[in-house]
Structure 1
Amino acid sequence: MSTLNYVALILGLATCLYNHVADARVQPIDNIKAVPTVQVSIQVGLPRGESSANIICDILTPNRYVGFDLPPGGTKTLTVAIFAIYKCDATWKGKKATFVAYDKTRDTSQNDVYWILDPLGFYLSYDQHDWKRVGGW
């Protein structure tokens, strides 16, 4: 092959490689299922007839939060990425408290994380049988 053919071959390969890299850069990441996730369930264990609890959870990244009202007995399940930390602020009858619903260090080996909020405080479980009181209002 002549030198001119080698130059043309190298330019062709460089163009293909550049197009491949450029295409990879502009592809949106819209497949959340590609990231390993954990289910975090928050249940309000307040007596019937009590007011709802308001909960706002933040992924500790700007503009990534979810808020909801849960009546007594209500449950909300969140799907969270395993590399995240979810901090939640709860309000009930003028009382306020903060709890970490999912912590990548504390909950690293768990597939599911369960919370119950009741008049005395916040309880964490990984199996819905053994509950540990984590904090109060």
Structure 2
Amino acid sequence: MGRHMDFRDYFQESLKDPESARLYREVLDEELSWLLHYLRELRKLSQKEVAARLGVSRSRISQMETSAGLSMTLEGLARYAQALGLSLRLEFTDEEGEVLARYHVGADEPIAEPAAKGWEPVAETWATLTRREKHLLEEVA
């Protein structure tokens, strides 16, 4: 009988090959760039409008949407999301998919604050709530 390997094991094994790892990173870069373009169009905004909101050139937005990919900083992604009127949420999960930490930047929150304020440990029920949810709960109390 043949050896059985689940997809996660197969995937981890395949990434040991440098060429496979490089190709996988290229795919991730393309997907993120495509996602930025898709979200902008979904919000019915032009590159020029987003550029004006970010204080950058239209060509910089074009560059972000075609080649930025994984080289973008978290701050850059958060600012892009805010320029679209969106929030950004980043989660770190373990092997079973349990969320261990979450970072959330709302559409109207200043980014100039230290980034550490946005990180929330999720071991406690209270910490799993977004800032907006916490604020709503505090208003009710």
Q: TM-score, normalised by structure 2?
A: 0.27
Q: Which has the higher helix share?
A: 2
Higher strand share: 1
Which has the higher relative contact order, 1 or 2, with Cα contacts under 8 A spaced 6 or more apart? 1
- TM-score normalised according to structure 1 size: 0.28
Q: Which has the larger radius of gyration?
A: 1
